[in-house]
Each structure stands twice: as structure tokens, then as C-alpha cells.
Structure 1
Amino acid sequence: MLACRIFTLLILTLALQACNTPKRKIYTSECAAGIRFKKVSFANLADSIKYYDKQYVEVSGKYLEGKNQSALVNDSTYTGRSNQSLWVNFTQDCPLYLLGKRTGLFETEDGEYNKISDRHMTLRGRINLEKKGHNQAYMATINEVSYLELD
């Protein structure tokens, strides 16, 4: 009887913890409908950035934002140098909306703005080597962001 109660309590605790785990949020845009994206690792993209110029890619990393900063960095190897990261160019020309809703990425949700800095994300966009972000300090810009998945 005691073992049954302990087991039930354990199951209930695990179920409640599962309810509190954050769910992935996916934001999409209609800017790149019908375009096929090349899925590449951040390291491969950085090593072969010239090859990917003007191409549509899907890449994952950690997003950092701040004053004059909108960067996607490699989670494991980032050392604080912007030339090792991608400038992320979110624009109103390519609005991102929460999948299944009309809540925009930068709109309020439950009274608070989305906190996307220091979070892992997957982006789909187009690489541009000509523009390299603030003060041309980044290895490239990812434009036309049409998909964002927050972990």
C-alpha cells in the first residue's frame, strides 16, 4: 500500500514537471515560400562562408542581442569575437509569426516581450557576404529570415 502511494506520488511529480518544461516556439514567415534551404552546421558555414554567399541556409546557434548586436554564434566555440558570428537581420519586410497564431516575434505575449537573447535557435535565411552587420564586424549577414525555432 505504501509502495503504491509512493509510486503514485512519483508519477504525479513527473507529470507536473513535464507541464512546466518550456515548449519549442516556431516562428515562420511567407517570405521564402517554396525555397529549399541547405541545412548546415555553424562550423561548416563558418569554414566555407564564401561558398554559401547568396544561398538559403538553415543554421543553429546561440542568439545574442544588445547594443549594436544581433548575432548568431556557435554555442561551443564562441570566444566573444564578432568576426566568428553571423549578423542576424530581422526586418519588417519579412515578419515572423508564431506558428498557428498571429503573434509576431517582437510583439508582446502575456504582457512581456519575448526574451530571445542567450537562447539556442535555428534560423532559415539567406547569407550575404557584402553586408557584415554593425561596423562590418561580422563574418556575414543572414537576411530574409523566414523561420525561427526557439529551444
Structure 2
Amino acid sequence: MAQGRVYWVLFTALMLLACNTHKQKIYTSDCATDITFKKLSFHNLADSIKQYDGKYVEVSGRYVEGKHISALVNDSTFTDHGSRHSFWVNFTQDCPLYLKGKNTGLFETEDGEYKKINNRKMTIRGRVDLRKKGYKNAYIATINEVSYLELDQ
């Protein structure tokens, strides 16, 4: 009986630790405080992109960055992650993103290093622009005026 309790306490402690490890950092901007965003799945936005041109949306995916790359791709392992199935993400100085509760910007150095956001799951809010399709017009559309970023830890 005592051995069962020990296992139960150990199991409960491990579960609580596991629950606490999934934290998020939220970066916001003052650019779109009075705008309502339409929350969409990545798949729904990609399939109905013409319907959302010029509209403000919230979408989740995995962010990929590199030389000539600033893209939000579907985080599913069962879909194509090429640029024709991704959104160009346009972070601008006109809409600076700051960590909620602090005065630390997304692209400011922290402890001498930039935040590592490559290959991280995130949720962003911004305006869809079909006229701009990123580097060499290779993407579905651009998500402009990003005013919210929720970065999974």
C-alpha cells in the first residue's frame, strides 16, 4: 500500500512539472489595439486566402527564418512546407513588438543574444496582403502589420 502511494506522489509530481514546462512568451504592439482578428487554422487560411485579403487574421504555425526567408509554415508533419504552401511574415519597425509586462523588444538582444525564433511554433496576428508574396513572390501571401506574437517555449 505504501509503495502505491509513493508511485502516486512521484507520478503526480512529474505531471505537475510537465504541465509547468509549456510556457509562452507574448509580444504585443500598439498598432492594432482596436482591431478584431479572425482566428483561423493554417489550412483554412491557405485554402481561402482570397477571402481574407486585406483582413486581420490570427494564425498559428512554425516560423522559419534565414537568408531571404521569413515564413510561417504549417506545423503539421503531414503537409508540404515549401514556400507555395507558406506565408511570408513581414515584421516592421512601424509595429514594434514588445514582451508583455517588460520593455524588451522581439528583435532586441537579451543577455547579448537575439531571441531564437527559427523553427519555433508561434501564433501571430496581422493583415493579409495578397499583392505582396514575399521574396521572389514565392509565397501564398504576406502577413503584414504583425501586432501580436505568441511564442511557444
* TM-based fold match above 0.5: yes
> Which letter maps to 2:147?
S
Say if 2:58 is the partner of 1:58. Answer: yes
Paired residues, number: 151
Runs of 5+ in structure 2 lacking a partner? none
Say if 2:36 is the partner of 1:36. Answer: yes
Note if contact 2:74-2:81 (Cα within 8 Å) is conserved in structure 1.
no
> Which letter maps to 1:112?
E
Aligned to 2:138: 137
Say if 2:150 is the partner of 1:149. Answer: yes
Runs of 5+ in structure 1 lacking a partner? none
RMSD between aligned alpha carbons?
2.3
1:133 positional shift: 0.3
Aligned to 1:96: 97
CA distance in 2, matches of 1:139, 1:32: 23
Look up the SS of the partner of 1:112 in the other structure: coil
- Are residues 14 and 66 of structure 1, via their aligned partners in 2, closer, same or farther at CA, if it must alter by over 3 Å? same
CA distance in 2, matches of 1:110, 1:8: 40
> Which letter maps to 2:92?
T
For residues 69-108 of structure 1, the aligned pairs below 5 Å read 69-76=69-76, 77-108=78-109
Look up the SS of the partner of 1:130 in the other structure: coil
1:7 positional shift: 5.8
1:20 positional shift: 7.1
Superposition TM-score, scaled by structure 2 size: 0.87
CA distance in 2, matches of 1:127, 1:15: 40
CA distance in 2, matches of 1:120, 1:7: 34
% of aligned pairs identical?
A: 67
CA distance in 2, matches of 1:133, 1:90: 12
Superposition TM-score, scaled by structure 1 size: 0.88
CA distance in 2, matches of 1:78, 1:109: 34
